[in-house]
Chains A and B, each alone.
Chain A
Amino acid sequence: MKRELHAEWTKLRTMSGSGRLPLAAVLTVVLTVALSAAASAAVTCPAIGCDQDPVRLSLTGVHLGQAAVAMLAVLAIGGEYGTGMIRTTFTAMPRRAVALSAKAAVLAGGTLAVGTVAVLGSVLAGRLILPGGGFVPAHGFPPLSPADGPTLRAALGSVLYLVLVALLSLGVAAAVRDAAAAIGTVLGLLYVFPLVILMVSDPAWQLRLWQVSPLNAGLAIQSTTPLPLSPGAGLAVVAAWAAAALLTGGLLLRLRDA
């Protein structure tokens, strides 16, 4: 496994020479922080109070940053199918499940690092911007701080969420093989659930869909107010999606000719 890990890291690091890895990393950070800052700036909280959750607000950017994370993950394997390099990979590392695990491990590590930067940047942006919109201690909103328990949980959870999205995307890309179709599937899965929930009128079904939607359930961790699913359970839902995708991808890798 160690050799596989090293090889995958080298591959990810040197991906295609045109700097797509740094690009995806920078995109993740920029998109996340930019949307977070924009959302924080767009909201004002008058003196009479508001039903906004400043922590959640300052982490809005994760909704967009996850697209860049998905791109990185899909490129990590979809690119190999596109160029036929997957055959080289499997020749060098015949144990395909191990190869995929190595890829997953390296990807998770990379996303963890990038996600941490992005999420911390968002919290910082929120800390700087939100008071300007009336989120001041006088209205019951102390400045955001990662040292604060719920804020810390929301921030850590958002990073973990991004990691799980990366793994989910990797699994889908391994299963679908075509990079464009894979990214369409992942983004569809992430973004369309929230909309389908709004389309359903039956509250019981709404709740059921909400609880299995990777985006809704997963980002429950950002909320500092109670939701129908506990934050941990929400992340577990995303983890289940990621595991299912990785298992499917791994199984298909073993069964299919490269």
Chain B
Amino acid sequence: MSVATVYRSGLRAGRDGFAQLVRAEWTKFRTVRGWVIAMTAASLIIVALGLSYASGNRSTCGQGPVEVACPAPPVGPDGEAVTDGFFFVHRPLPAEGGITVRLTSLTGIITYPPPDHDKIVPGLVPWAKAGIIVKENTRPGSAYAALMVTAGHGVRMQYDYTHDIAGRPGRVSAASPRWLRLTRTGDTLTGYESADGRQWAKVGTARLDGLAATVRIGFFVTSPSDLTVKRSDLGGTIEQARFTQATGVFDHVSVQGTAPGEWSGGNVGNAGTTDWERHHQATGVQESGGTFTVTGHGDIAPQTDGQPIERPLTGVLIGLIVMVVVAVTSMTAEYRRGLIRTTLLADPRRGRTLAAKAVVIGAVSFAAGLAAAAVAVLAGRPILQANGNYVLPVSTFTEVRVIAGTGVLAALAAVFALALGTLFRRAVAAVITAIALIVVPYILATASVLPDGAAQWLLRLTPAAGFAIQQSIPEYAHVLGHYVPAAGYFPLAPWAGLAVLSAYTALALGLAVVLLRRRDG
């Protein structure tokens, strides 16, 4: 037997680390032109659909015979769009002080209720409200804190449009009146309620930072529109708002502290009047011996009519299908060609290898999703606005969350698909499963195929819950609305939804690692 000198390599040893593995997988990905093209195409599809949506969507408001640009709604202290319309009986409050009233009645009317579409019936919508308020000024959108009795939700303390604190439940009537008191100390407002005017219970406090020294104090009545939702034959829903009006009766009105002048009444917001009002009692106030009867309509609440910033992102769904196909193929192609063995030879630590693959496909999808979402949202908004659409304002943080979240959504979906590709080793089965779990539930839920309840459960339980990260306008419990997936409202909070998708992805990836380790290559 020949005993030769054992071979010594002159090659300098390369570094051994996860970074090298990731780099190898990145090289692998970028050197297949079809994948790079498909990922770019996925991005472009998202952008193209988003911008065509934005440019194809026009909105005008009819004012008599002419179509004009719709007036933009006021913006509240926190930057959100608000609706601020009510009948306000007020006087200035130049310093600290408060107001106490007794509310003995809250009644109202609703127009055109089903099934008889030609009648006006007495009734109240649940969030019809009457109460006392401290408001910076009478300009719509200014800061306020209010204590009120609602038709269906008892006593509430609300401030700055988005905040709502529950008090004692129950309706108001002559037999069971409600005493309400609201006091100002500096920037702090405190609300109290009482059944008899002697024993007071605190409802809540609100801090209105930077509240002007002189504010308006008084009492108000308002009643938001009722909502009728109909299914559209073409998918989606048709929402109809119906005019309502509420009337509250106040007595035992007293102001604590120095509040000079007389009570003056007027509408806040609500410039226009409907046809209906020409023939019926208008909003206003009537005083008779210290008893004030106030009638009003409108709402003091955040407003959600308009285009949320994420609306141009619907194309993400199509982009995701492409990304899922690429992610699955990047794994199953290795199985199909036997290349997986070469990969496993290059690093026999299989968990790391799969992790490196996940990092690369996740990063690529993240970048593609992020770039596309950024363009669609940021370029879509001015186009929408130029077409007369009102784009609901959101904070910068929310905007970043929607855009970056779309990137994360794409990354998670791609990694999920990659894991399925590893589990199944077959492209068709993996693509079907990924699309059936991520894309189909979203479509079933939003394209109004399913009843709303089923749609909400789908978006809680399936990986499609991750789309919640794109929702920019939250659901407000104190505003009547059609909060369903079809209207862009997800049953889970944005991060919770993303967590569901993450959990699915982690589970699939974990299973894939276990199987990859156990299986013969």
Partner-B contacts on A (CB < 8 A): 20, 31, 35, 38-39, 42-43, 51-52, 57, 60, 63-64, 67-68, 70-71, 74-75, 78-79, 82, 178-181, 183-184, 187-188, 191-192, 194-202, 205-207, 210, 216, 227-228
Contact call A195/B443, Cβ cutoff below 8 A: yes
Partner-A contacts on B (CB < 8 A): 49, 53, 56-59, 230-231, 233-236, 314-315, 317-318, 321-322, 324-325, 328-329, 332, 336, 427-432, 435-436, 439-440, 443-444, 446-447, 449-451, 453-454, 457, 486
Q: Which residues on the A side are within 8 Å of B317 (C-beta)?
A: 192, 195
State which of A52, A183, A207 has its C-beta within 8 Å of the C-beta of B428: A183
Q: Which residues on the A side are within 8 Å of B446 (C-beta)?
A: 195, 198
Q: Which residues on the B side are within 8 Å of A78 (C-beta)?
A: 428
Q: Which residues on the A side are within 8 Å of B486 (C-beta)?
A: 198
Q: A192-B321, A201-B56 in contact; A216/B235 too (CB < 8 A)?
A: yes
Q: Which residues on the B side are within 8 Å of A63 (C-beta)?
A: 440, 444, 449
State which of A20, A51, A187, A200 has its C-beta within 8 Å of the C-beta of B439: A187
Contact call B231/A51, Cβ cutoff below 8 A: yes
Considering the chains assembled together, what is the distance between the CA atoms of A178 and B440 in angstroms? 22
Contact call A184/B57, Cβ cutoff below 8 A: no
Q: Which residues on the A side are within 8 Å of B318 (C-beta)?
A: 188, 192
Which 9 A-B pairs have CB atoms at the shortest separation, nearest pair first?
A42-B454, A180-B427, A194-B447, A184-B325, A43-B451, A201-B57, A42-B453, A210-B234, A179-B428
Least CB separation from B315: chain A residue: A199
Considering the chains assembled together, what is the distance between the CA atoms of A35 and B234 in angstroms? 21
Contact call B329/A180, Cβ cutoff below 8 A: yes
Contact call B233/A227, Cβ cutoff below 8 A: yes
Q: Which residues on the B side are within 8 Å of A207 (C-beta)?
A: 234
Considering the chains assembled together, what is the distance between the CA atoms of A188 and B324 in angstroms? 12
Contact call B431/A183, Cβ cutoff below 8 A: yes
Q: Which residues on the B side are within 8 Å of A192 (C-beta)?
A: 317-318, 321, 443
Least CB separation from A226: chain B residue: B233
Least CB separation from B52: chain A residue: A199
Q: List 8 A-B contacts (CB under 8 A).
A: A38-B454, A39-B450, A52-B451, A60-B449, A67-B432, A183-B431, A187-B439, A188-B321
State which of B58, B59, B447 has its C-beta within 8 Å of the C-beta of A195: B447
Shortest Cβ gap from A196 to chain B (Å): 8
Least CB separation from B59: chain A residue: A201
Q: Which residues on the A side are within 8 Å of B231 (C-beta)?
A: 51
Q: Which residues on the B side are within 8 Å of A75 (C-beta)?
A: 428
Considering the chains assembled together, what is the distance between the CA atoms of A180 and B321 in angstroms? 11
Q: Which residues on the A side are within 8 Å of B332 (C-beta)?
A: 180
Considering the chains assembled together, what is the distance between the CA atoms of A42 and B322 in angstroms? 32
Considering the chains assembled together, what is the distance between the CA atoms of A200 and B234 in angstroms? 11
Shortest Cβ gap from B132 to chain A (Å): 37
Shortest Cβ gap from B356 to chain A (Å): 22
Q: A191-B440, A198-B235, A216-B234 in contact; A184/B449 too (CB < 8 A)?
A: no
State which of A60, A68, A191 has its C-beta within 8 Å of the C-beta of B450: A60
State which of B230, B235, B430, B435 has its C-beta within 8 Å of the C-beta of A197: B235
Least CB separation from B451: chain A residue: A43
Shortest Cβ gap from A222 to chain B (Å): 11
Least CB separation from B389: chain A residue: A201
Considering the chains assembled together, what is the distance between the CA atoms of A75 and B432 in angstroms? 11
Shortest Cβ gap from A224 to chain B (Å): 13
Considering the chains assembled together, what is the distance between the CA atoms of A56 and B59 in angstroms? 33
Considering the chains assembled together, what is the distance between the CA atoms of A130 and B252 in angstroms? 55
Contact call A199/B49, Cβ cutoff below 8 A: yes
Shortest Cβ gap from B335 to chain A (Å): 10
Q: Which residues on the B side are within 8 Å of A199 (C-beta)?
A: 49, 53, 314-315
State which of B233, B322, B336 has its C-beta within 8 Å of the C-beta of A228: B233
Considering the chains assembled together, what is the distance between the CA atoms of A60 and B440 in angstroms? 13
Q: A67-B440, A195-B447 in contact; A180/B431 too (CB < 8 A)?
A: yes
Contact call A187/B432, Cβ cutoff below 8 A: yes
Considering the chains assembled together, what is the distance between the CA atoms of A202 and B231 in angstroms? 17
Q: Which residues on the A side are within 8 Å of B430 (C-beta)?
A: 180
Shortest Cβ gap from B309 to chain A (Å): 15
Q: Give 12 A-B pairs besides A51-B230, A188-B321 with Cβ atoms closer than 8 angstroms.
A: A64-B440, A67-B432, A67-B436, A70-B432, A75-B428, A183-B428, A187-B440, A192-B317, A194-B235, A194-B449, A201-B59, A227-B233
Considering the chains assembled together, what is the distance between the CA atoms of A170 and B130 in angstroms? 64
Considering the chains assembled together, what is the distance between the CA atoms of A226 and B389 in angstroms? 33
Considering the chains assembled together, what is the distance between the CA atoms of A195 and B443 in angstroms? 7
Shortest Cβ gap from A70 to chain B (Å): 7
Considering the chains assembled together, what is the distance between the CA atoms of A214 and B435 in angstroms? 18
State which of A183, A210, A228 has its C-beta within 8 Å of the C-beta of B432: A183
Contact call B454/A43, Cβ cutoff below 8 A: yes
Considering the chains assembled together, what is the distance between the CA atoms of A192 and B449 in angstroms? 13
Contact call A179/B427, Cβ cutoff below 8 A: yes
Shortest Cβ gap from A56 to chain B (Å): 9
Shortest Cβ gap from B339 to chain A (Å): 14
Considering the chains assembled together, what is the distance between the CA atoms of A197 and B56 in angstroms? 12
Least CB separation from B307: chain A residue: A201
Considering the chains assembled together, what is the distance between the CA atoms of A42 and B431 in angstroms? 28
Shortest Cβ gap from B343 to chain A (Å): 19
Contact call A195/B432, Cβ cutoff below 8 A: no
Considering the chains assembled together, what is the distance between the CA atoms of A199 and B431 in angstroms? 25
